[in-house]
Structure 1
Amino acid sequence: MVNAVLFGSFIIMLILNVPIAVALGLSAALTLLYAGVPLSIIAINIYSGQAKFLLLAIPFFVLAGNIMAKAGISDRLIEFADACVGHKKGGIAIVSVIVACFFGALSGSGPATVAALGSILVPAMVDKDGFKPNFATTLLAAASSIAIVIPPSIAFIVYSSITGAAVGDLFMAGIIPGILMGVALVVLIKMECKSAHIEAHRAKSSWGARGKSFVKAFWAFLMPVIILGGIYGGIFTPTEAAAVSAVYGLIVGLFIYREVKPSNLWSIFVDSVTTSGSVMIIIGCASLFSYVCTTQGIAASAQGLLGAMPNKYVFLLVINIIFLIAGCFVDANSAMYIFIPIMFPVAQAMGIDLVHFGVIATVNLAIGQVTPPVGVNLFVASGLRIPGRPNVSVTEMVRPALKCCAVLIIALLLITYIPALSIGILGK
């Protein structure tokens, strides 16, 4: 009956469009009330779920991403990528994938990447490349999902806080899988170009033009290098790296690119606090939900079922299916707190590397950002305000979203069953 109360109330609230954090927290509270557990445990668990030094990295990375978004980084990244591949068939679409990967390395957020790049790249894909608006919009949403796989990633920080896996290792392990996801989308672009008879829109840039555009974008490229180099060089912890990235973003925005003005700082801080607050509320409520699953025996029952899998290959296939389905309904951070505490002990018992398992989970949840009906990137993309153009509805994006998900799932299977694609870079 406890299972019915917990999951029944949670599903009902999702159907009623209750915010995911409220649905998680309230369903857990109702279950505790039904089980006769003192409700004081609610505050204790919500606080303990958030009171981790590692999670301090989240607001700093969010702040750094917002600063770099306002610093004119997107224009410089687009200019560089266009100089390199803009002359190819579907060049602007390829540029969109490349820039989304780079911008994701600055923001760590899929929705933020969509919002920052959409109004520039979607019209260019339609006008210059000749893609249909629904495909162009969906492609950007799919490319932006790579932001939570390419380091620095908030999803990896959350996974580390649950399992104890090293954040630096997770960041490094996410590089090749993120690139592989981008390559999968580029393959899809080439297929679309062939079927729609799309041609190149301009001539090839000179090496001089490419060099100039690289110099303009240099400071953006340097930020991930500082973060990963600092962590792996033992110069600072992941949380300290996040603080360094925020200070670095301020220096670049205020004094190098000079796109950020002192008058802009208040709105940047407010946006960062709002985003960080929403993430931390989700983490707190999801921690409570996970606590209920553990104390009421739900987690143990689920672990028993998963542990009964004949081998780790079948287990990984089932895990992928579970995460892909979950990604259709809940966000990445919530899914991490609901499923990872149940799954990772079984994964360890089966000899699956903890870092590799974290990459698999994160790639699954990245795909979830573009899976209907609750793909958050799709909703952000459908809300883009592009002057002189009607918005593309989520319904119109379903068909191209399925194409994007298909190629990304192929990349997911490669990442799942070829561990070297993720942990090979760590020498494992």
Structure 2
Amino acid sequence: MAKVLILLFFATLALGIPVAFTMGIAGMAAILVDGALNPLIIPQRMYGGIDSFPLMAVPFFILASELMTACGLTTALLRFANDLVGHIRGGLGHVNVLVSMLFAGISGSALADAAGPSAIVMRMMRRAGYEANYAGALSAATATIGPIIPPSILMVVYAIADSRVTVAGLFLAGILPGLLLGLSLAAANHFVSVRHDYRGRTHRASASEILSSGIAAGPAILMPAIILGGILAGVFTPTEAGAVATAYALVLGLGRRTLSMSALYRVLVRAAVTTSSVLIIVAMASIFGWLLTYAQIPQTLAGAISGLTQEPLAVLFLLAGFALVCGLFIDTLPALIILTPVLSPIAAQFGIDPLQFAMMLVLNLTIGMITPPVGPVLFVIATVGRLRLEGLSRAVLPLLAAELIVLLLVILMPAVSTVVPRFFGFAN
């Protein structure tokens, strides 16, 4: 059964069939070949995969992100970032990084960032004389900060798949790696800017201008603080935090009179479509992941790794390499749902900290979003910027190297993932 499941999955994936349906087709075929399983287990597992109270946070965070974007706060974030760092060498590149870090606290999604603020800054960079492929590559790379800095949709899904961690713990674990990711991309942008003589704007913003733009962007910056603050204070759960964020964004849009009824309707439609695509992937991946466990793939893989090494760090490197290869060919969300129940027990068996492993896996698969041949963020940027994927893939390599350095730090230094959660009492 395991051979049919895996071979058919990759065969249908190679044919270009959407990943949600490849998992369903492979799962159905494996059940029929096995003969011992009732096909009715498919709808049962699909329903069980999405019948989760914590998963309700996903549509709330998606809707909150859409509402904040519709309120026009992206422009305010851009102005604030430009006032802060636009004057230094490679200024617009640093603006790109900073805006993505700020927007990550609103969207929690790389694709939302790539299609929104990153795409806007990319066009600004091209008008300012930056090489088109580099502007696109930096925009793609900075978009990957979205799933790392809380709130993160991927971390909500991970916490559902691995009972050893909580959503709040994962949110806190993502803060330091997210900041390191931003700093590494800013450093890479600096070196590229020195090499190509990309200068910042001639006018340096005054303190009053920075204060003014900061106040305008304040409502957007405040949202992640409300989410994390409420969770840490015990006022509400992560799911309730999503609802609070949605209510906050709605009140903000109506109060500022930037959200009309027609705009609200479009926001609801976009959020419903995005949520539906996420939930069907979660449902199908639940079947696929359960079948992998039923076929004892985790035990087989753990046995193979045990035969190679008993050293936890070496095991973590092996798991990271395996996840990195999977991220090249499978979209991030289904890969996360499939790999978590398979690899997490192996990490636990070798005594690897659950938060460290979670951050390694999430960061690993997020990096896969800018690596060909799948690289969904690259495809979004290539489409929006009308760029050739080949040139974009070459330009992203130095930025990819910067992100891999952060991944290496997460693997080598558990404290990168655990120090913040431990400070707030969310780690062992």
Output the TM-score relative to the length of structure 2. Answer: 0.96
> In the alignment, what sits opposite 2:400?
405
On the 8 A contact 1:107/1:113 being kept in 2, the answer is yes
Query: Hey, what's the Cα distance between the residues in 2 that align with 1:363 and 1:298?
Result: 23
Give the equivalent residue in structure 2 for 1:293: 292
Which residue identity does 1:12 align to in structure 2? A
Confirm or deny: 8 A CA contact 1:303 1:342 kept in the other structure: no
Q: Verify: 1:276 aligned to 2:275, yes or no.
A: yes
Query: Partner of 1:227 in structure 2?
Result: 227
Indicate the residue corresponding to 1:58 in structure 2: 58
Contact 1:104-1:150 within 8 A present in 2 as well: yes
* CA distance in 1 between partners of 2:217 and 2:229 (Å): 19
1:306 and 2:317 aligned: no
Query: Who is 2:127 aligned against?
Result: 127
- Specify the code of the residue in structure 1 equivalent to 2:7: G
- Checking the alignment, whether the CA contact within 8 Å between 1:89 and 1:198 is kept in structure 2 is yes
Looking at structure 1, the residues matched to 33 and 116 of structure 2 have their Cα atoms a distance apart, in angstroms, of 45
Distance 2:405 2:192 in 1: 17
> Which has the higher mean CA deviation after the structures are superposed, 300-309 or 168-177?
300-309
Shift of 1:224: 0.3
Q: How does 1:188-207 map to 2 (within 5 A)?
A: 188-207=188-207
Change (3 A) 1:342 1:418: same
2:259 matched to which residue of 1?
260
Q: Is the 8 A contact 1:118 1:384 kept in 2?
A: no
Q: Does 1:414 align with 2:409?
A: yes
User: In 2 relative to 1, CA 205–340 (structure 1 residues): closer, same or farther, beyond 3 Å?
Assistant: same
Matched with 1:377 is: 377
Q: Distance in 1 between matches of 2:304 and 2:79?
A: 51
Q: Is the 8 A contact 2:100 2:118 kept in 1?
A: no
Residues 186-214 of structure 1: per-residue CA shift (max 9 Å, x gap) = 11111111211222232211111000000
Q: Partner of 2:95: helix, strand, or coil?
A: helix
Deviation, structure 1 residue 426:
2.2
Provide the rounded CA distance (Å) in 2 between the counterparts of 1:197 and 1:212.
30
Q: Give 2:13's aligned residue.
A: 14
**Which ranges of structure 2 fall in alignment gaps of 5 or more residues?**
none
Give 1:61-76 correspondences, 5 Å limit.
61-76=61-76
Distance 1:395 1:254 in 2: 44
Deviates more, 1:406-415 or 1:304-313: 304-313
In angstroms, what is the RMSD of aligned CA positions? 1.2
Q: Which residue of 1 aligns with 2:147?
A: 148
Q: Distance in 1 between matches of 2:262 and 2:197?
A: 48
Partners in 2 of 1:252 and 1:351 — Cα distance? 46
Partner of 2:234, secondary structure, is coil
| Cα deviations by residue, 1:209-243 (Å, 9 ceiling, x for unpaired) | 00000000010111001100111110011111001
Instruction: Name the counterpart of 2:86.
Output: 86
- Please state if 1:97 is matched with 2:97: yes
In 2, Cα distance between equivalents of 1:286 and 1:104: 25
Structure 2 counterpart of 1:237: 237
The amino acid across from 1:415 in the alignment is V
**Equivalent-residue separation in structure 2 for 1:418 and 1:29 (angstroms):** 41
The aligned amino acid for 1:177 is P
Q: What residue identity is the alignment partner of 1:124?
A: M
Unaligned runs of at least 5 residues, structure 1: 386-390
In the alignment, the residues of structure 1 paired with residue 200 and residue 98 of structure 2 have an alpha-carbon distance, to the nearest angstrom, of 17
User: Which amino acid letter does the alignment assign opposite residue 78 of structure 1?
Assistant: L
Distance apart, 1:303 and its partner CA: 2.5
Partner of 1:177: 177
Letter in 1 for 2:97: V
SS at match of 1:269: helix
Q: Distance in 2 between matches of 1:245 and 1:363?
A: 24
Which stretch shifts more, 166-175 or 259-268? 259-268
Report if aligned partners of 2:288, 2:338 keep a CA contact under 8 Å in 1: yes
1:18-29 equivalent positions in 2, closer than 5 A: 18-29=17-28
Query: What is the CA-CA distance between 1:421 and the residue it aligns to?
Result: 1.5
1:212 maps to 2:212: yes
Aligned length: 420
Distance 1:222 1:307 in 2: 47
Shift of 1:119: 4.1
Deviating beyond 3 angstroms after TM superposition, the runs of 4 or more aligned structure 1 residues are none
- Distance in 2, Cα, partners of 1:353 & 1:343: 13
Matching residue of 2:325: 325
Report the more deviating stretch, 362-371 or 326-335.
326-335
2:327/2:368 contact within 8 Å kept: yes
Partner AA of 2:294 in structure 1: T
- Aligned equivalents of 1:321, 1:252: Cα separation in 2: 44
Could you tell me how far 1:259 is from its partner in structure 2? Answer: 1.9
Structure 2 counterpart of 1:359 = 359
Describe the superposition over 1:106-160 as per-residue Cα deviations: whole angstroms up to 9, x where unpaired.
01111111111244211211222x3211110111111011100010001101110
Q: Is the 8 A contact 2:161 2:337 kept in 1?
A: yes
Q: Matches of 2:158 and 2:67 in 1, distance apart?
A: 25
Determine helix, strand or coil for the equivalent of 2:159: helix
Q: Is the 8 A contact 2:310 2:350 kept in 1?
A: no
Q: Is the 8 A contact 1:327 1:368 kept in 2?
A: yes
